[in-house]
Amino acid sequence: MVIKSIPAIPVLFFTTRTTLKDIAKYVGTVAKQLYAVAAKQELLPTGPLQWVYWGADGKPDTVFTLEIALPIDGLPKEESLFLYKELPPFECAITLHHGAWEHLYETYDRVIGDIYANGKQLSGFCREKYIYMDFNHPANNLTEVQIGIK
């Protein structure tokens, strides 16, 4: 676990209210649409896709806000299915998760324990940065987990 301050990041994004048990329907589909809209509007992607969780608590039925965000350079030229904003800067604990996303909870459990052991509190805001996604061999996935702290 490493503590870092992440600067604001301009993104094209999708937002919805969902639960952890219903989240799988957004995997892959929203990303394809985000990249297509960015290309159509001549917006250069500047980083990996990020999923942002506002108010998720790890319980399968808790409703929270999910944002699926693509970092970009430039401003949208026209309205689309997606919105534009800057993800706010934040301080977070960062670690890498190697492997299938169904095991992400293990990484979260470990890092959250480390956060509390270091006298920090959770901010209620987390991000997952998808460095490498292998839909055919999920064991190859590489995800940077960013857990907001205060």
Is residue 28 very low, low, confident or very high in pLDDT (cuts 50, 70, 90)? confident
Give the distance, in angstroms, between the CA of residue 78 and the centroid of all CA atoms in the same chain: 25
pTM (whole model) above 0.85: yes
For residue 48, give the DSSP letter.
Answer: -
> Mean pLDDT, the chain, as a whole number?
96
Token pair for 50 = 């990020």
Q: Rounded to an integer, what distance in angstroms lies between the CA atom of residue 76 and that of residue 141?
A: 30
Domain range annotation of the chain: 2-149
- Tell me the pLDDT tens digit for each residue of 104-139: 999 999 999 999 999 999 999 999 999 999 999 999
Token pair for 72 = 């970009």
Please state the CATH superfamily assignment of the domain spanning residues 2-149 in this structure.
Regulatory factor, effector binding domain (3.20.80.10)
| Residues belonging to the chain | 150
